[in-house]
Chain A
Amino acid sequence: MAATKTNDVFTVGIDLGTSRSAISTSTGDRLVVDSFVGWPADLVARKILKRKVLVGREALDNRTMLELRRPLERGLIKEGSEKDIEAVRELVRHLLATAAQKSHKESAPVRAVLGVPAAALRTHKQHLREALDGLFDKLIIVSEPFAVAYGLDALLHTLIIDIGAGTTDFCVMNGRYPTDEDQRTLTVAGDSVDAHLQQLIRNRYPDADFSIFMVRDWKEQFAFVGDPPREPVVVTAPVRGVPTPIDITTEMQTACEALVPPIVETMFDLLASVAPEYQERVRRNVTVSGGGGLIRNLGPKIQCALQQVGGGVVTVVEEPAFAGSDGCLAIARDAPDADWDKLGK
C-alpha cells in the first residue's frame, strides 16, 4: 500500500474530554469546545434553531430547546447507547470540520491521535475507534497522560497528573510506553468538585436557585485551594426570583480542597512503585495538566504534600486545556508514514 505523503495530510491531535474537547492541528490552529451535543427537541425548536444538531457552547446556551447529550463519561463513551455514540461522532465531526475550515484542509486526508483516560481498557478503545469510524483516514489512540508527557518531552523519570472533568489520570514515565502498572485513574476530578460545590452551596443557601452549569462556570472562574483570595468569591444567583449576590468562598475552598487528598494519596502510591533509585528524580519532575491545573494554588499544595516523602517540584503546564491535544499532535507529527501505514484504513 502506498504511503500518503505527510505534507498532503491534515494532522491533528484531539483531547476528547468529558467536559471539554480540544483539537490542535498541524497548521497551528487550536480549538476547544464544551463536550455537549444537542438535537432540536421538536419541530418548533428546529424551526427556531434552523439546525439539525448543535455542538459545544451553542448547544449549552440553547439547551432548553434541545435533547442535550454529554456523551462522554470519564473520558469514554457513556453507557454505549446509540445516541451517545452519535453524539460523540457529531462532537468530533464538529471539531474536525471547524479546524479543517480554519486551516483550509477540508478535503485533505486526516491523521489523528486521540487521547483517552489512562484506565481505558482495550475494549473501550476499540469501541471508540468503531464509533469514530470514517471520520479519519488513520487514527492512533493513546493514553492521555502519555500524550501530555510526549508533548512536553517529559518521557523519563517524570510523573504526569492530568486533572480532567471526569477523571484524574496519573502516569509515571520510565522511558517506555506506559503499562497498567505505570498508570492510575481516579474518578475524583472536576465533575466531583462541581457536585460537591453544588451540594455545599445548596446547604448554605437553600433558597438560592442555580444549576450545575452555573456551578461549573463559578468553579472555572474562582477555583482555589489553600489561602482564600483577598476578595471573597461572590456570585449572583436568583433567590425567590431576585438576583442575589451570595458568598461562596468557603464552599469553593472546601470543594476544591477535597480533590487534594485522593490526588496526593494516589501520587504517593505511584511514586512508591518507582524503582527506589529514581524516586527522587520523579518527585522533582511532577507535572500537572488538564483543566484542574487552573485551580489556583493546586500545584504548590501538591508540592507541599511531597514534603512528606522527601520533597519535590510540581509544575503546572502553561496552557492546561491544550496540553493533551498538543501532545497528541506531537505524536501525530512524529509518527513516521510507515507507522501510520501499519494501521490500515
Chain B
Amino acid sequence: MANTERLKARLLREAVEENVATMTGRLPRPLRRSARIATWWGQRSAATLFFLGLLGGVRLSFGAATAAAPVTTVTTIPQNPVVASRPAADAASFPRPQRVSVAALALAVRRVVIDAGHGGKSLGTSAVSGLSEKEVTLDIAERLRVRLAGQGLTVLMTRAGDDTISLQQRSDIANEGRGDIFVSIHVNALTPKDRGIETYYLGASEAPATDAIAADENRDSGYSLADLRSLLDGIYIDARKDESRRLAESVQRSLLRDLRRVNHAVEDRGVKTAPFVVLVGTRMPAILAEVSCLSNDEEAALLSGPGYRQSIADALLDGIQGYLRGGAPDGSKETGHGSY
C-alpha cells in the first residue's frame, strides 16, 4: 500500500511538472523527449564542432603545411581534385556529424506545405467514371489544410484551384514559403485488380542557405564555395533523408490503419524511394503519398465520395502528427524504387 502511495505521489509530481512545462513553454523534464533533446544537442554540437573544426583545421593546416605533412586526407569530397590536393585535408579527422532529428524539436514544424498533385491541364490519372486525379487530390488537400490549420499549423498550398503548376514551381513555392515539411498528394494508376497505398521519399537535394555561410567562411579557409557546399550537402542530405523516411513511414502507417476501417481490402504497397522531381527540388523533409488507386473500380467508387476523402485527409493528419510526436513506426516496409 505504501508503495502505491509513493508511486501515486511520483506520478502526480510528474503530471504537474508536465503541466508547468507546457504552460511555460519548456520541454518537460521527466519525459523521454528530454533524452532526445540531449542527443539532439549532442548531435548539433558535433555538427557545430565539425564546422568550427573544419575551418580551424583548415587554418591550422595552412600554418602547419610548411612544417609537416597533414596526418589524413579529405575523404568527404573525394570527387573534387582541387580539394583533394589541398592540405585542408585535416577536416577528415573530425567525426562525421550524425543525423539531426526533428523529433527533438517538438514544436519545430510549424509550416506544412501541401501539394495537390496535377491540376489544370494535367489531369493525372482518371477513373472509368471520368473522375480525375487532379480533382481528388485538390479536394483531399483542402480537407487536410482545414485539419492542419485547426491544429495551429501554418499551411501553404502549392495550388488552391484547378491551376497548371509545374513540378519545379511546386518545389519553388515550398522553398520560398520556407515550409518545414512537404506532403504531395497523388492517386495511383495500376492494373485494374491492383489497389493500395504507397508513400515515397527522396534523399538528394540542393543545400539551402549555405552559400552565404560558405562565402563568408571560405574567405580564409582556402576552400572554394563549391567545396563547402559539398560538405554541408552531405550533412543536410542525411538529416533530410532520414526525416523524409520517418515522415513517409508515419504517413503510410496512418493511411493503412485508418483506411482499412472503411476499405478492408486496401493493400500496403510500402514506403519507397523514387526520383520524383517535386521531391528533388524541395529543401525540407518531403514525401509523395499515393493515397489510393483510381484504376481500381472499388477504390475509384470510394474516392468519388466525400467520406473516404475525409478519411484520407484525417489519416494524413494522423501521420503528420505521428511524425511530429517523434514516432518512428515499425514495420513499414521499404521496397526499393518506384516510378513516376
Q: Which residues in A have some Cβ–Cβ distance to B below 8 Å?
A: 73, 78-80, 119, 121-127, 129, 139-142, 146, 150, 153, 155-156, 175-177, 179-181, 186-188, 192, 195-196, 199, 258, 261-262, 265-266, 331, 334-336, 339-340, 342-344
Partner of B12, one of A78, A153, A180, A335: A335
Query: Separation in Å of the A272 CB from the closest CB of chain B?
Result: 9
- Nearest A residue to B5 by beta-carbon distance? A334
Contacting pair B150 A122 (CB below 8 A): no
Query: Separation in Å of the B159 CB from the closest CB of chain A?
Result: 22
CA distance A265 to B329 in the complex (A): 14
Among A142, A180, A195, A344, the most chain B Cβ lie within 10 Å of the Cβ of A180
Contacting pair B150 A342 (CB below 8 A): no
11 other contacts beyond A123-B107, A179-B33, A180-B32, with CB at 8 A cut-off?
A80-B149, A80-B151, A121-B325, A125-B19, A125-B22, A142-B15, A177-B11, A192-B261, A331-B15, A335-B12, A342-B17
Contacting pair A179 B31 (CB below 8 A): yes
Query: Separation in Å of the A81 CB from the closest CB of chain B?
Result: 8
Contacting pair B261 A334 (CB below 8 A): no
CA distance A124 to B150 in the complex (A): 10
CB-defined contacts of A78 to chain B, threshold 8 Å = 150
Residues A121 and B321 in contact in the complex (CB < 8 Å), given A262-B261, A339-B16, A342-B20: yes
B106 within 8 A of A: yes
One digit per residue, 1 when the CB lies within 8 angstroms of any chain A CB and 0 when it does not, for chain B 18-40 equals 11111100000011110000000
CB-defined contacts of A344 to chain B, threshold 8 Å = 23
Contacting pair B152 A80 (CB below 8 A): yes
B7 within 8 A of A: yes
Query: Separation in Å of the A65 CB from the closest CB of chain B?
Result: 27
CB-defined contacts of B262 to chain A, threshold 8 Å = 196
Query: Separation in Å of the A29 CB from the closest CB of chain B?
Result: 23
The 7 tightest CB contacts between A and B, nearest first, are A79-B150, A177-B14, A339-B16, A122-B22, A179-B32, A180-B325, A335-B12
Query: Separation in Å of the B260 CB from the closest CB of chain A?
Result: 7
CA distance A129 to B18 in the complex (A): 13
B326 within 8 A of A: yes
Contacting pair A177 B18 (CB below 8 A): yes
- Nearest B residue to A139 by beta-carbon distance? B19
CA distance A195 to B308 in the complex (A): 12
Partner of B22, one of A119, A126, A153, A180: A126
CA distance A261 to B23 in the complex (A): 38
Query: Separation in Å of the B136 CB from the closest CB of chain A?
Result: 20
Query: Separation in Å of the B13 CB from the closest CB of chain A?
Result: 7
- Nearest A residue to B314 by beta-carbon distance? A187
CA distance A146 to B11 in the complex (A): 10
CA distance A186 to B151 in the complex (A): 17
Residues A187 and B150 in contact in the complex (CB < 8 Å), given A126-B23, A342-B16: no
Instruction: List B residues 224-265 near A (Cβ within 8 Å).
Output: 257-258, 260-262
Query: Separation in Å of the A21 CB from the closest CB of chain B?
Result: 20
CA distance A237 to B10 in the complex (A): 53
Contacting pair A343 B4 (CB below 8 A): no
Task: Jot down 23 A-B pairs with beta carbons below 8 A, ordered by A.
Answer: A80-B152, A121-B106, A121-B321, A122-B106, A125-B22, A127-B152, A139-B19, A140-B16, A150-B8, A153-B4, A155-B7, A155-B11, A176-B30, A177-B14, A179-B33, A186-B257, A187-B258, A196-B262, A258-B261, A262-B260, A339-B12, A340-B16, A343-B16
CA distance A192 to B259 in the complex (A): 12
Query: Separation in Å of the A144 CB from the closest CB of chain B?
Result: 13
CB-defined contacts of B15 to chain A, threshold 8 Å = 140, 142, 146, 177, 331
Among A125, A126, A187, the most chain B Cβ lie within 10 Å of the Cβ of A187
CB-defined contacts of B22 to chain A, threshold 8 Å = 122, 125-126, 129, 141
Query: Separation in Å of the B173 CB from the closest CB of chain A?
Result: 24
Contacting pair B20 A343 (CB below 8 A): yes
Residues A180 and B19 in contact in the complex (CB < 8 Å), given A155-B11, A188-B261: no
B288 within 8 A of A: no
Among B13, B261, B326, the most chain A Cβ lie within 10 Å of the Cβ of B261
Instruction: List B residues 307-330 near A (Cβ within 8 Å).
Output: 307, 314, 318, 321, 324-327
Residues A150 and B11 in contact in the complex (CB < 8 Å), given A121-B151, A121-B325, A344-B23: yes
Query: Separation in Å of the A341 CB from the closest CB of chain B?
Result: 10
CB-defined contacts of B307 to chain A, threshold 8 Å = 195, 199
Among A121, A155, A188, A344, the most chain B Cβ lie within 10 Å of the Cβ of A121
Among B11, B22, B106, B327, the most chain A Cβ lie within 10 Å of the Cβ of B11
Residues A124 and B261 in contact in the complex (CB < 8 Å), given A141-B19, A155-B8, A177-B18: no
Query: Separation in Å of the B168 CB from the closest CB of chain A?
Result: 33
Contacting pair A140 B11 (CB below 8 A): no
CB-defined contacts of A258 to chain B, threshold 8 Å = 261
B146 within 8 A of A: yes
CA distance A119 to B326 in the complex (A): 12
Query: Separation in Å of the B3 CB from the closest CB of chain A?
Result: 9
Residues A177 and B30 in contact in the complex (CB < 8 Å), given A153-B4, A258-B261, A331-B12: yes
Among A119, A141, A177, A331, the most chain B Cβ lie within 10 Å of the Cβ of A177
Contacting pair A339 B7 (CB below 8 A): no
CB-defined contacts of B258 to chain A, threshold 8 Å = 187-188
CA distance A129 to B25 in the complex (A): 13
